[in-house]
Amino acid sequence: MLTKKGAATRLRIIEAAADEIRERGVNGATLDDVCRRSGTGKSQLFHYFPDGKEQLLLAVAQREADRVLEDQQPHLGRLTTWTAWEKWRDAVVERYRRQGVHCPLGVLITELGRHTPAAQEVTGRLIEQWEAQVRAGVEAMRESGDVGADIDPERAAMAIVAAIQGGVTILMSTGSARYLRSALDLCLDHLRATGRAART
């Protein structure tokens, strides 16, 4: 169990490593650079990350995964009106538009190995948390009658998250966020239509 000071030092090392990776890439970021940027020594770094760079990269990947959800707040946690859904969609599109063709999380997971248990756990937890919050929004809209009662919130949430990931993949290949916005717009249009149909 880390002390408050220890947790702050560990986070400072992770943030420094993330900044180094953004500037230099995974291969260009050295532990010496991370120590310099974070104002820590090698002994401190290995105290928090005894397995070295791979363990640190995994911690950075987890931090980047957390940021994916943080950047969508407060909208992601308030999907109870169509205005809220539109603000969330705009936040998602803007986040990935700013990120552009470089995805630190994707690079890190690739470097760690997509099929390693640790990397799978990071991405799996991110998707589960993301899906759960979208599902809660669909459930709220279904209860209010803005989404049809026949909509399965779990399937709808899974489809929406998959649409985002597909749009982000194309954005990383082309630099265009149009596909991401179109995919989200189509998902929201479909949900709206089910609500309208239920009221007629």
Q: Determine contact, residues 160/147, Cβ cutoff 8 Å.
A: no
Task: Give the rounded distance of the alpha carbon of 5 from its chain centre.
Answer: 27
Opening angle at CA 73, ends 153 and 196, nearest 5: 40
% of residues, the chain, pLDDT over 90 = 62
> Where residue 114 falls among pLDDT bands split at 50, 70, 90?
low
Residue 9 is classified by DSSP as H
pLDDT digits (tens, 9 = 90+) for 125-143: 999 999 999 999 999 999 9
Q: Which one has a higher pLDDT value, 28 or 109? A: 28
Mean pLDDT for the stretch of residues 114-126:
82
pTM, rounded to two decimals: 0.84
Here the contacts of 90-97 (C-beta below 8 Å, separation 24 or greater) are: 92/164, 92/180, 92/184, 93/177, 93/180, 93/181, 93/184, 95/68, 95/71, 96/167, 96/168, 96/171, 96/177, 96/180, 97/171, 97/177
What is the per-residue pLDDT for 13? 96
| Averaged pLDDT of the chain | 91
Q: Looking at the predicted structure, is the pLDDT value of residue 45 above 90?
A: yes
> Where residue 115 falls among pLDDT bands split at 50, 70, 90?
low
Residues 6+ apart with CB under 8 A from 134: 76, 79, 156, 157, 160, 161
What are the φ and ψ backbone dihedral angles of 146, each rounded to 5 degrees?
-80, -15
Q: Determine contact, residues 75/87, Cβ cutoff 8 Å.
A: yes
pLDDT digits (tens, 9 = 90+) for 25-43: 778 889 999 999 999 999 9
CA distance 170 to 165: 9
